[in-house]
Structure 1
Amino acid sequence: EGIGERDKRPCRWNRAWNQWEWNDVGTDEFLRLCELLGAEPYICANAGEGTPQEAAEWVEYCNGPADTPMGRLRAANGHPAPYGVRLWGLGNEMYGNWQHGWLDGSKYGLKAAQMAAAMRAVDSALELVLVGVDVRGWDNFNEKAIQKAGLFSNYLSVHYYLGLDVNADQLAEYARALAAPVDVERMLQATWEVAREANAGTPIPICFDEWNVWRPEVDDQPGYKGFYCLREGLFAGEILNALNRLGPKVPIACVTQSVNVLGLIRANETSVAPTPSYWVLKLFRDRAGKLGLPVQYEGPTAVFPSGSLPLVDATATYDPEARRLSILMVNRSAAEAREVRIEVPWAERVTVLGVSAVTADDYLAANDYAQPDAVVARNMPELVEAAGAAAEVTIPKHSVVAVDFELTNPRFGG
């Protein structure tokens, strides 16, 4: 229904979301978008009311040679060469009764194993994502599903959303938003351990393929007239720092979504407004070094809903070939800038290459269609002063700051 001439595709009532699905954006359009963005596609097969045969045919449409039945159909639709989609999900949130055809962990594991076998019979190189939950939730869903389908799975999916209340005390909601990533990091670590135990000691990396803040009063406005603010950007920065620390345990993570509903970008018919979270994600993406390095922080703490936390959350990445060290920091304080001294004892000298910050006077500051660049990643060299193998950094209140150094005579990785 989502392939072929768009004007001839049937419209269907989406019973899950109670709205019309026009099928204007289907498989080929999605994969073309991935090509344009340079992004790797990730397609989720229907494990609820779908069948293993349907999933296998979808794989063949995307990856099969042009002389296979589905490959011929793809070629007829204008793309003779296989797309080569590597990453596939074995359903989505199959533990929840909001999913048509939802199942308990054991029954889902059996169906996932059947789907995996059918899909890999078409393309043995697929990497498959098993539906999972946080730790041991939903009646030990992870353990039951992994026992049936762990051998067929490359990753375990986990989702997380933080709901914020516009009617609550906003400083308290700020504290919740900046404490939640600590709980998320603990949850992902614990889930990884549960998955390894259920898989007879063999680790299953986590695919953290849905995460974000959810503010209903923003997304429920017609025409996407509500806007996510800097507070949510700080939440994103801490999540990304957590993912840096978790490293190979969580090799895949996908913020939800790209545009409009929970989107990193808000758009209407005439305007575009990237959110602060968009700029934070770009800040981290531009500094995705080849190595993640441990960071030792010594400094003041404050009490948050997750307990006593350092006021600065920091990680580091390193590119040995360029000798570039990037320090990524979130100042959790809503009221005060933090003065931080960065020491790199394994280098002779550090030279500042650049300093970028996502900040504003108010943690509720947001971009909108009239002012789409009110909160962006700005070059702020005045925040850093380097001397020898150390640097003094000022981190503005409620901000995300990235500092890039070139190292002279590093004694680590080059």
Structure 2
Amino acid sequence: MRSLTSVTTLIAGFFLLLGSLPGHAQLTIDVIGGGATQIPITVLPLKDEQRYEQQISEIVSADLRRSGLFRLGATGSRRPFPTEIKDVDYQYWRNERAQNLVIGDLREGSGGRIEVRFRMLDIASQSQILGFSFLVDVSQLRATAHKIADLIYEKLTGDMGVFSTKISYVVKRGDTFELQIADADGYNPQVVHRYDEPIISPQWSPEGSRVAYVSFEKRKAIIYVLNVFDGTRKVLAAFQGSNSAPAWSPDGKRLAVTLTKDGLSQLYLINADGSGTRRLTYSQSIDTEPNFSPDGQHLLFTSDRAGSPQIYRMRVDGSGEPRRMTFEGSYNVTPRHSPDGKSFVFIHRNQGRFNVAVQDLATRQLQILTSGRLDQSPTFAPNGKMILYASEIKGRGILAAVSSDGRVKQRITAQAGDIREPAWGPLLNNRQKESQ
């Protein structure tokens, strides 16, 4: 196997500045349910991984298990575990009913770095179906494990893995609000902004280096953009009245926002540097919560122009009339396009409960995915397979996730504080060439 560069520069340096900021206990994720069919896989401990605090095989296994799509097999009783293809007893693993077997090791590399090698074998054909080598710092072992899980996920499902992604969310502790960023599995939470006034609506830029959000620290709603690499931030929109609901364009050059500077809440486009504001809607109603389609040509948004909050779709260039998309129920808000642009997720009021629902753009078929009392702020994973959202248990705010087909559910809690306003970050340089 050829040695690849470190997992990704983007992930490795993600918290360069934030390392000095106080973090908090990691989030805890409980998985409920599973996919209709689960893929069998056995992940063996990597040779010499026990020398390090981060156990790569355990992290990979946890990632795959959390997806709900994999059935993790027992590691068997035979020792030592194989690290090379020539050491694998295929008959033994067939007897153990293993189908996909992950083996590997850790070695000392140049410059004090560690070479992480892994292979995935198909037991039936007795062949390697995946193999990579990474040369990383000790601090990157956890990120490397997520990368391995991503590669396995993609190989066996055909979809991109999202274990290397980040999530952002707001934690309320007493009278203090914290904007935090963490790994997708809840580890490495970092506070990127803290204030004693509300923080809402964090949204990731498409390349993952910036987060736009709304803060009330100046006693009014102002949109800021935070650079997650160096911690600098700038004001994006601080017009008279309210500035809210930022949404990035797919190319990261513009944002759609909601402003009241001309009266009622209306939609505007604004350049990412805060220049060039252009009004998009001219209704006599409240228009808010814009969201770009993946091709950048359309916006979904919430409006009460028909008498109740409903979801509409319009062209970004402003041509034509907005088209109403939701007709079932009297309350449908917070639309978010799926990454493939074929559906959208939103909050639907159902028998007095506010639940996450998904609707097909073409057929308008609606499916309710959750059953909580007060679910909010849905956001797709960048591969479209999971939806992260805010909910509550016994009056306490938590995060939760549900698969786009409703089969897999996750509950995400913190040791203290209410968690709300989640946003799932983008894929970060996830594609690499496979070693031969």
Q: TM-score range by the shorter chain?
A: under 0.3
Greater share of residues in strand: 2
Larger RCO: Structure 1 or Structure 2 (Cα < 8 Å, ≥ 6 residues apart)? 2
Greater share of residues in helix: 1
TM-score in terms of structure 2 length: 0.25
TM-score in terms of structure 1 length: 0.26
